[in-house]
């Protein structure tokens, strides 16, 4: 399936883009993360939360969505 | 009431709404990039009681975005400087300035005195503390955080809604995300995001519109795009917060950002109450500090003598120049002693300052 993946904050810096389309046969969020971590090795050391179709998901969630977002926590104020 | 006439003519507010604002009590934690616009709009709106906590001083590099301050505030504590400016903006309300750091020992009493908590802090340690204390005391938190050109806004813990830990269950690993406000930030960004926080505060008090509860709004100033992401309540996250000992003390990351959270100036240190000064120099080192009661624990013995430190007090660590005291803070953080600062200046300056005071 084709997924639109959106990156925020520090994650967008390491992927060097804010959004991209990915062709993937993964069935779970965990597999997608695995795929992205191979594409962007420095992602492994980062903390982020995943959203699927604009809803916070967990690593066990089944991949159904068209849009995935990788949301890191921000500390700045 | 002509001060609020533009509020009162709105059917959503009116005299009744303005009265609600005047009875509200809001605590703003952090008077930085986010805190400044929040404080300005809440003060202008006539929130009856506003508390502001910040232990930091105004530096020239703050003025690019912290629009509450001018050059005349440089070197002053932010909470006190904010109070001065805000009282000019609206002398009809009550503003309490607390020139100290929010810690797990003082958070409880601060939270008890206010209805709504605004999180405008710049570090994860305080964000998780705020989140957990808000769950324990059942107070809504108007949250925001920024990074360079992006901001996040949400209302947590509102009418039984989700909390910060439902989005980010645990503090990030050390080094995984920047915990330092030394990162660049577009000056106007905290202005936009902080104004959104003020908007949420007003909606909560006035009870109109839709509150940003159960969702997190992500704004990108480069693209002007906004994404709203739904958040569900996680009972695990809540029980983590309610299990106070685990979450309030052991769980936070212990990075120290030298210019922000772990350093304190002599002036601010002397303003704090309930402090204990600790000299981490070797016993033989000169000059001696004899005008102030203090503990002496040389840095190399600090770890084995860690139990001598009274954690109910704020520890102010000093040495000859501020380098060993900073290392000491690293050790204390490792042993979960958060309520401590490294004195920015060395012992000579401290003696000088005490002599002036005496």
Contact flag A75-B127 (C-beta cutoff 8 Å): yes
> Is there a domain that residue A77 lies in?
no
Q: From the list B168, B181, B220, which residue is nearest A49 (CB)? A: B168
Tokens matching residue B31: 């008077």
B221-234 mean pLDDT: 96
Question: How many angstroms separate the CA atoms of B73 and B108, rounded?
Answer: 30
Residue B154's nearest CA partner among B239, B240, B228 is B228
The answer on B306 and B171 residing in a single domain is no
Q: Do B147 and A76 touch (CB under 8 A)?
A: yes
- Cβ of residue A60 closer than 8 Å to a chain B Cβ: no
| Total domains present in chain B | 2
Please, what's the b/e burial string for B306-326 (b: 16 or more CB within 10 A of its CB; e: otherwise)?
eeebebebbbbbbbbbbebbb
Does residue B249 register a pLDDT over 70?
no
Partner residue opposite A73 with nearest CB, options B122, B144, B177? B177
Question: Residue B339: pLDDT band by 50, 70, 90 thresholds?
Answer: confident
Mean pLDDT of chain B: 90
Q: Which two tokens stand for residue B130?
A: 């705020």
Name which of A11-25, B105-119, B169-183, B249-263 the model is least confident about. Answer: B249-263
Cβ <8 Å between B123 and A47: no
**Yes or no, beta carbons of B121 and A77 under 8 Å apart:** yes
Q: Is residue B258 part of a domain?
A: no
Q: Compute the C-alpha angle B105/B350/B51, nearest 5°.
A: 35
Q: Does the residue B256 lie in any domain?
A: no
Number of domains observed in the structure of chain A: 1
Q: Is A43 on the interface with B (CB under 8 A)?
A: no
Whether residue A76 lies inside any domain: the answer is: no
Same domain (yes/no): B71, B208: yes
For residues B126 and B201, state if they share a domain: yes
Least confident among B12-21, B248-257, B275-284: B248-257
Tokens of B295: 């503990």
Residues whose CB is less than 8 angstroms from the CB of residue B272 and which lie 6 or more positions away in sequence, other chains included: B99, B100, B264, B314, B316
CA dist list (Å): B218 to B146, B221, B223: 10, 10, 12
B220 shares a domain with B85 = yes
Interface with A, mutate which of B176, B183, B252, B257 (most A CBs under 10 A) = B176
Q: Which residues of B touch A8 (CB under 8 A)?
A: 150, 218, 220
Tens of pLDDT along B75-127?
999 999 999 999 999 999 999 999 999 998 899 999 999 999 999 999 999 99
Higher per-residue pLDDT: B251 or B4? B4
CATH of the domain at A34: 3.10.20.30
Q: Minimal Cα distance from A46: which residue of B?
A: B176
In a domain, A51, yes or no: yes
Q: Is residue A33 part of a domain?
A: yes
Q: Looking at the domain assignment, is residue A15 inside a domain? A: yes
Say if residue B216 is in the same domain as residue B188. Answer: yes
Q: Which residues contact B319 (CB under 8 A, 6 or more apart)?
A: B279, B280, B281, B299, B325, B328, B346, B347
**What whole-number distance in Å separates Cα of residue B196 and Cα of residue B66?**
16
The arithmetic mean of pLDDT across residues B51-64, rounded, is 96
Given this model, what pLDDT does residue B261 score? 60
Q: A77, B167: Cβ pair inside 8 Å?
A: no
Q: Are B144 and B152 in contact (CB under 8 A)?
A: yes
Min Cα separation A20/chain B (Å): 15
Q: What is the pLDDT of residues B141-176, one digit of tens each?
A: 999 999 999 999 999 999 999 999 999 998 987 666
Q: Which pLDDT tens digit goes with each residue over A20-53?
A: 999 999 889 999 999 999 999 999 989 999 999 9
Indicate the residue of A10, A49, A69 with minimum beta-carbon distance to B147. A10
Residue B6 is part of a domain; what is its CATH number? Answer: 3.40.50.720
Q: Do the domain assignments include residue A62?
A: yes
Q: Is residue B34 part of a domain?
A: yes
Choose one of B227, B250, B273: the last residue of a domain: B250
One domain, residues B240 and B291: no
């Amino acid at each position: 399936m084709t997924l639109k993946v959106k990156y925020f904050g520090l994650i967008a810096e390491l992927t060097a883009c804010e959004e991209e389309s990915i062709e993937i046969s993964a069935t779970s969020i965990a597999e997608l993360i695995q795929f992205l971590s191979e594409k962007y090795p420095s992602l492994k050391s980062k903390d982020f939360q995943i959203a699927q179709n604009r809803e916070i998901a967990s690593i066990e969630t089944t991949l159904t969505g068209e849009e995935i977002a990788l949301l890191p926590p921000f500390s700045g104020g | 009431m002509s001060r609020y006439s533009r509020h009162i003519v709105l059917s959503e507010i009116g005299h009744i709404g303005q009265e609600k604002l005047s009875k509200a009590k809001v605590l703003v934690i952090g008077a930085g990039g986010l805190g400044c616009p929040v404080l300005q709009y809440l003060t202008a709106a006539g929130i009856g009681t506003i508390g502001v906590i910040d232990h930091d001083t105004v530096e020239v590099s703050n003025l690019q975005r912290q629009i509450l301050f001018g050059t005349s505030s440089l070197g002053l504590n932010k909470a006190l400087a904010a109070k001065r400016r805000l009282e000019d903006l609206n002398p009809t309300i009550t503003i309490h300035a607390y020139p100290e750091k929010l810690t797990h020992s003082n958070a409880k009493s601060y939270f008890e005195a206010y209805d709504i908590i605004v999180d405008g802090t710049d570090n994860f340690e305080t964000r998780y503390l705020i989140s957990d204390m808000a769950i324990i005391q059942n107070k809504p938190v108007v949250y925001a955080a920024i990074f360079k050109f992006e901001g996040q806004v949400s209302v947590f813990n509102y009418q039984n809604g989700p909390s910060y830990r439902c989005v980010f269950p645990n503090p990030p690993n050390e080094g995984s995300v920047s915990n330092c406000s030394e990162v660049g930030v577009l000056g106007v960004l905290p202005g936009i995001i902080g104004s959104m926080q003020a908007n949420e505060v007003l909606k909560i008090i006035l009870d109109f519109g839709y509150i940003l509860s159960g969702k997190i709004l992500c704004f990108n100033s480069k693209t002007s795009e906004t994404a709203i992401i739904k958040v569900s309540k996680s009972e695990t996250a809540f029980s983590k917060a309610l299990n106070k000992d685990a979450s309030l003390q052991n769980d936070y990351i212990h990075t120290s950002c030298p210019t922000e959270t772990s350093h304190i100036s002599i002036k601010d240190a002397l303003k704090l109450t309930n402090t204990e000064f600790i000299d981490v120099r070797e016993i033989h080192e000169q000059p001696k500090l004899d005008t102030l009661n203090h503990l002496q624990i040389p840095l190399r013995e600090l770890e084995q003598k860690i139990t001598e430190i009274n954690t109910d007090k704020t520890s102010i660590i000093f040495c000859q120049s501020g380098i060993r005291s900073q290392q000491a803070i690293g050790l204390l953080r490792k042993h979960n002693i958060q309520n401590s600062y490294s004195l920015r200046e060395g012992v000579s300056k401290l003696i000088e300052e005490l002599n002036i005071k005496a």
